[in-house]
Amino acid sequence: MDTSDLLWFASALILLTNGSTLAALAPASLFRRSLFEYSGGLALSGLALLILSFRERLPYSPPVSVSNSLLVLGVLMIAGAVLRLFGHAAGWRSLLALIAVLVVLQFLMPAGPAGEPFRYGLVLVAVLISVSVRIVVALRRHDRSERGPVLLMCAVLGINALMAAANLAALVLEPESALRSQRQGVMALAIALISVIAMITTMLIVNSRTHAALRRLADSDDLTGALNRRAFFEQAAPTLRGAPGRRVAMLDFDHFKQINDRHGHRSGDTALSAGVGDVLTRLDGHGLVGRLGGEEFAMVWAPDGPAPDELRAALSLAASRATGVPITVSMGTTLHREGEPLETALHRADEALYRAKAEGRDRCLSH
């Protein structure tokens, strides 16, 4: 095995090791599908380089287009895995169509040295598409806590792209160079080593997203998506600090026990889920909704947001439409005063809620 073959072989081992590591970690991850796709892409890329390193020693020597096609499939599969990791998996059909086109073109290129630059050019296209997709998606869809790993990953991928471009340029400019094969092997080894850093940064992002997802699970009410009682008090207090004038509300579904008794607990659950989900959509992240218990909820949002009775009416309508049962909601509101604890404002809102119920329900009153 000459030097160039050893370099291809070492590169293949690195990629296959990375792929098997990700595959082993995937089952325990919340993002297992992304990691399995990423590991599959690394495995296919490693297999492509493995074929190149042993192509002269195999009983049947496969054409370069076979290994190139596997490499195309691998690098674009990695791009798809990153798309899914960042919650943007809608492009799989386009990605598969692109893979099919590039693979077919690999086999349509002229045989021998004449078609070699074109085949490597198609691989370069796949590499650059994969790198570009990963950079763009990571920069646009990352959370603030992921900024460090994302920027490192983008820098590493940028270096990867430059090296791939330099490899192709050398192939085109010096097609007959005796050192070309070794240079390609060195480049493949360098790119494989860079892929280790890219994989590590991806795992850091996965870890950050896993932590955020587990935190959401710990803080959220499973049925409605609202914050649970603990999380609401933890997040609402700092939201109010230094921001007097925010609206604070208490709301309660009217005659909720009768809804459960007459129409079943499933209807009651549907009413809570649909109604509160509509309110969360209307607040669009600019307010907090917490489930304090049963059918009782608390809210905090900015004074320039939706009017209290607008939210109450929308909640009633969404719950009624989802269940097919007329459902009403009562609400009490107040404005937070500078320096006062959250509990004091909630107490005033609760007094207004009790008045709304005493005056006939299905209304919003302010304190």
**Phi, psi at 312, each rounded to 5°:** -60, -45
Catalytic, out of 295, 296, 310, 359: 295
Angle, to 10 degrees, between the axis of helix 64-85 and the axis of helix 92-108?
A: 170
Structure tokens at 222: 């499973």
Amino acid (1-letter code) at residue 31: F
d(CA 8, CA 15): 11
Instruction: Give the closest residue to 41 by CA, choosing from 76, 68, 13.
Output: 76
CA dist list (Å): 310 to 151, 255, 266, 317: 43, 21, 26, 11
Q: CA distances (Å), 102 to each of 38, 80, 158, 188, in order?
A: 20, 16, 22, 20
Has 295 been annotated as catalytic? yes
Query: CA 192 → CA 26, 119, 148, 187, distances in Å?
Result: 21, 20, 22, 9
Q: Roughly what angle, to the nearest 10 degrees, separates helices 180-219 and 3-25?
A: 10
Q: Considering only CA atoms, which of 262, 353, 211 is closest in space to residue 367?
A: 353
- CA separation for the pair 77, 71 (Å, rounded): 10
CA-CA distances (angstroms) from residue 69 to 65, 121, 287? Answer: 6, 12, 50
CA 87 to chain centre: 3
Angle at which helices 180-219 and 64-85 cross, to 10°: 20
Residues annotated as catalytic are 295
